[in-house]
A = this chain, B = another copy of it.
Amino acid sequence: MLSSKKKYIVNSSSGIKAQIQFADQKQEFNKRPTKIGRRSLSRSISQSSTDSYSSAASYTDSSDDETSPRDKQQKNSKGSSDFCVKNIKQAEFGRREIEIAEQEMPALMALRKRAQGEKPLAGAKIVGCTHITAQTAVLMETLGALGAQCRWAACNIYSTLNEVAAALAESGFPVFAWKGESEDDFWWCIDRCVNVEGWQPNMILDDGGDLTHWIYKKYPNMFKKIKGIVEESVTGVHRLYQLSKAGKLCVPAMNVNDSVTKQKFDNLYCCRESILDGLKRTTDMMFGGKQVVVCGYGEVGKGCCAALKAMGSIVYVTEIDPICALQACMDGFRLVKLNEVIRQVDIVITCTGNKNVVTREHLDRMKNSCIVCNMGHSNTEIDVASLRTPELTWERVRSQVDHVIWPDGKRIVLLAEGRLLNLSCSTVPTFVLSITATTQALALIELYNAPEGRYKQDVYLLPKKMDEYVASLHLPTFDAHLTELTDEQAKYLGLNKNGPFKPNYYRY
């Protein structure tokens, strides 16, 4: 959805070597975004790299302990101090959350079982930088079970679940993360993961590119021993392609963001559910009969439209791409320009990945009580800044819900201040995160075990066969029974019985 002028080279082996040229490359990798910029960038890293903010978060201690974790003496029950979390005593609460998450992450649990004999990550020293949640914990403990040593930091200063971090620390993982880190804390934590006496990472698992950036900047020599980078987010992938293009990428990198299963689950299937969830939790509105305009008919837009149509809303779509526009028509949605319907709709939802899709002019013309929210990949789609003018009154009516009131009394209902509704106001089901985490684990295994020469210093998509493997590991959840090709059929189709089953350009 992001870029256009890309050059793809797909080779005939299992891997896919992709060289992508970006149109606007003003932002160089080592020009660090400013603090604010980086955070909002980090917030904008799409569904893929973000955490559930599950209801579990609610019991996070509101204690007034204002001592920085960096200033505390910390020790787990086995006597280790190689970690830094908010409160090691919360470990038990975190363990319960991890156990609940395990139940919905069948694929990782299956990997653990299969790894009881061989340890495909034996010898791997993985440094990770992701959201720290129950699901990440299941991933980390799976990597451990597969033979890896791990050290971990948070990729976001707000998203760490302190209890889970405590549980990981208690069970021996060197974790450096807490909710509410400062900018300085953030880099300090990352540095504590990397800069260790007698331990040097040979794999990187990154979400947003900050960890990779830090090593590039501070410890470039480390790359000599590093076998590869697995990157999860749109932003981080973007950075890697830039590095690659600049000839500065010095290890293979796996772009797990664009695998089929991940894309479909993070976008289509997840948003189909979270748009309803997010709207309900914030506004308690009724969907039936409501008029909605959805801006953008990519996977996210398709999911939103399908759900709202099913609930009895009347849905309009805006698009810039005539192919997606024609799909919207065939799926039964009127394709309009935003201006045509802005006066009549009850809800405006943006899913474009674009900026200023909803402008102040649009906002001025909306009817009273219109709800405005964003499901796209960043907080740029609604021009929220344009609402910060003196004549408009903001009223915070609930968490994540603002009424913006015009002088004539008209009010619009702005959700999550234009940030991602599904991350701010709903939860991401563990099952979706399971697919992401499994993809990450397999990418680590692939890069770590790949024979010399399979991967060059470039950015690769996950081999299709692995994408299929991730899917197959999740089928038992649905008691789904796959059909196997007979020898005769495989021959007829020219396929290996174990896949891959489709050409790379197949659209699913």
| Chain A 265-319 residues near chain B, CB threshold 8 A | 265, 269-270, 272-273, 276-277, 280-281, 284-291, 306-307, 309-314, 318-319
- Chain B residues with Cβ under 8 A from A326's Cβ? 261, 289, 471, 474-475, 480
Does the CB pair B319–A483 fall under 8 Å?
A: yes
Does the CB pair A329–B475 fall under 8 Å?
A: yes
Does the CB pair A310–B307 fall under 8 Å?
A: yes
- Chain B residues with Cβ under 8 A from A505's Cβ? 6, 8, 258, 504-505
Does the CB pair B100–A397 fall under 8 Å?
A: yes
- Chain B residues with Cβ under 8 A from A488's Cβ? 355-356
The yes or no answer to A65 lying at the interface (CB within 8 A) is no
The copy count of this chain in the complex is: 4
Does the CB pair B4–A494 fall under 8 Å?
A: yes
Does the CB pair A286–B431 fall under 8 Å?
A: yes
- Chain B residues with Cβ under 8 A from A429's Cβ? 284-286
- Chain B residues with Cβ under 8 A from A468's Cβ? 321-323
Does the CB pair A334–B480 fall under 8 Å?
A: yes
- Chain B residues with Cβ under 8 A from A355's Cβ? 488-489, 492
A26 CB to nearest B CB, Å: 10
The yes or no answer to A418 lying at the interface (CB within 8 A) is no
The yes or no answer to A74 lying at the interface (CB within 8 A) is no
Q: Which of A75-83, A193-201, A337-345, A447-455 contacts B (4 or more CB under 8 A)?
A: A337-345
Query: When chains A and B are docked, how far (Å) is the Cα of A311 from the Cα of B489?
Result: 32
- Chain B residues with Cβ under 8 A from A269's Cβ? 286, 288, 312, 330
The yes or no answer to A493 lying at the interface (CB within 8 A) is yes
Total contacting residues, chain A, CB less than 8 A:
128
Task: Specify which of A100, A286, A380, A427 lies most central, judged by the most chain B CB atoms within 10 Å of its CB.
Answer: A286
The yes or no answer to A246 lying at the interface (CB within 8 A) is no
Does the CB pair A502–B277 fall under 8 Å?
A: no
Q: Which of A17-25, A183-191, A385-393 contacts B (4 or more CB under 8 A)?
A: A17-25
- Chain B residues with Cβ under 8 A from A357's Cβ? 489
Query: When chains A and B are docked, how far (Å) is the Cα of A323 from the Cα of B506?
Result: 11
Q: A23-B494, A313-B332, A327-B508 are in contact. Are A503 and B3 (CB under 8 A)?
A: yes
Does the CB pair A483–B284 fall under 8 Å?
A: no
Does the CB pair A491–B24 fall under 8 Å?
A: yes
The yes or no answer to A333 lying at the interface (CB within 8 A) is yes
Does the CB pair B327–A6 fall under 8 Å?
A: no
Query: When chains A and B are docked, how far (Å) is the Cα of A327 from the Cα of B291?
Result: 15
Does the CB pair A489–B55 fall under 8 Å?
A: no
Does the CB pair B472–A322 fall under 8 Å?
A: yes
- Chain B residues with Cβ under 8 A from A12's Cβ? 5-7, 21
Query: When chains A and B are docked, how far (Å) is the Cα of A119 from the Cα of B482?
Result: 52
| Chain A 462-508 residues near chain B, CB threshold 8 A | 467-469, 471-472, 474-475, 477-486, 488-489, 491-496, 499-508
Q: A273-B288, A312-B332, A494-B23 are in contact. Are A323 and B504 (CB under 8 A)?
A: no
A436 CB to nearest B CB, Å: 13
Contact of A333 among B100, B314, B430, B479 (CB under 8 A): B314
The yes or no answer to A432 lying at the interface (CB within 8 A) is yes
The yes or no answer to A9 lying at the interface (CB within 8 A) is yes
Does the CB pair B327–A477 fall under 8 Å?
A: no
Closest partner residue, chain B, to A55 (CB atom): B398
Task: Specify which of A56, A368, A429 lies most central, judged by the most chain B CB atoms within 10 Å of its CB.
Answer: A429
Does the CB pair B273–A336 fall under 8 Å?
A: no
- Chain B residues with Cβ under 8 A from A285's Cβ? 429, 431
The yes or no answer to A2 lying at the interface (CB within 8 A) is yes
Contacts A8-B503, A289-B480, A309-B332 given; 10 further ones with Cβ under 8 A? A2-B493, A4-B496, A6-B503, A52-B284, A55-B281, A96-B397, A289-B329, A307-B310, A314-B334, A322-B499
Q: Which 7 A-B pairs have the closest CB atoms?
A: A23-B494, A310-B310, A335-B480, A289-B329, A322-B472, A286-B429, A322-B471
17 contacts between A and B (CB under 8 A): A1-B502, A7-B10, A23-B495, A24-B491, A54-B284, A269-B288, A272-B311, A285-B431, A289-B478, A323-B502, A326-B471, A326-B474, A329-B478, A335-B481, A354-B489, A357-B489, A505-B505
